[in-house]
Amino acid sequence: MAVPPVAGIIGYPVTPFVPDTGELDLERLRGLTGELVDAGCHAIAPLGSTGESAYLRDAEWDAVCETTLDAVAGRVPTVVGVSHWSTETTVRRARLAERHGATAIMVLAQKYWSLTEAELEQHFAAVAAATDLPVMLYNNPGTSGVDLPPLTVVALARKIPAITMVKESSGDVARFRDILDMSEGALSVYNGSNPVALEAFRAGASGWCTAAACLVPRWCLELHTAALHGPPERADALLATLLPFLKLIVDRGLPRTVKAGLDIQGRHAGPPRPPLRPLPAEDTSRLRELLDRLDAHPLTAAALPGG
């Protein structure tokens, strides 16, 4: 099996906006990105759904891409989400990401009209051919409306050699093992569904793509270490403590919950961009409670089973 260019905890930064104007706050983005790297994330992945990529104007997308990669400055690998409805814009974004030093690009099939298998293949092939970067194929049927089952994923990778990684966000853990088996280990798989993080690592996932690292990076890193190096009961205990928080940020929507959490921590990133609205007060109160509980937890080997 080839060594993947990214592995471990892959942090997804939000895109900060100035509260009064709604414009990009690039200095805040630089700071938040640096905090993810300094906290120990093994890679950074800007411009996913957490980064509100779908709501950015072209010039804003370009600025976020350039600023994030400049802030990382090669300290850890970077995976830039280049997805767009159109092949032309996705290709343009891929080339820009390469020009600014991205390690890899991530491509989600987004649809308005239903796409045929031939259209999907054509789209991914065009984007892959646009750069020399490895491609992370992203399957997230909940947000894209397109589901790429393991058989389709492996078939695409065989036709398009640049596809070497797959981010699987359906929450179906069996797919991780299926992709690994069907590709005979040629594809590296990554988990994008926060609640199944531990199961995914145990099923062979190379990494966990998560916005949770914006708020509780140490917990994410500890879970990764425990999943890989055990003992199993420590990993189980970590996940059990972390799970209510993970479920809340997924259920209520990552951009609004992560930004609310940053506000709670005094690390403001502005509001989400309309049509998204800030997290309601009741949910914010629950999020504060969960963050306080995690912050107060000793998170030491002696405090958890297997320590």
138 assigned to active site? yes
52 part of a folded domain: yes
Q: What is the pLDDT of residue 301?
A: 52
167 assigned to active site? yes
- What are 31-75's pLDDT values in tens digits? 999 999 999 999 999 999 999 999 999 999 999 999 999 999 999
Q: What is the pLDDT of residue 252?
A: 96
Q: What is the pLDDT of residue 133?
A: 98
217 part of a folded domain: yes
246 part of a folded domain: no
Q: pTM for the whole thing?
A: 0.95
26 part of a folded domain: yes
- The residues that bridge with 167 in the sheet, in sequence order, are 138, 190
- What are 180-211's pLDDT values in tens digits? 999 999 999 999 999 999 999 999 999 999 99
Q: What is the pLDDT of residue 183?
A: 96
261 part of a folded domain: no
Gap between the Cα atoms of 297 and 241, Å rounded = 9
DSSP 3-state of 300: coil
Q: What is the pLDDT of residue 1?
A: 56
Q: What is the pLDDT of residue 305?
A: 62
Q: Which member of 138, 159, 247, 259 is catalytic? A: 138
Mean pLDDT by 10 residues, the chain (307 residues): 85 97 97 98 96 96 98 98 96 98 94 85 97 96 82 97 96 95 96 95 96 97 94 95 97 97 97 97 98 88 56
Domain count, the chain: 1
Q: What is the pLDDT of residue 144?
A: 73
262 part of a folded domain: no
Q: What is the pLDDT of residue 306?
A: 60
Determine contact, residues 28/58, Cβ cutoff 8 Å. Answer: no
Determine contact, residues 46/83, Cβ cutoff 8 Å. Answer: no
CATH number for position 76: 3.20.20.70
Domain, as residue range, for 170: 8-230
237 part of a folded domain: no
Determine contact, residues 16/32, Cβ cutoff 8 Å. Answer: yes
294 part of a folded domain: no
Q: Which member of 167, 190, 247, 259 is catalytic? A: 167
Q: How far is CA 180 from CA 134, 162, 203, 206, 224, in A?
A: 17, 17, 9, 11, 19
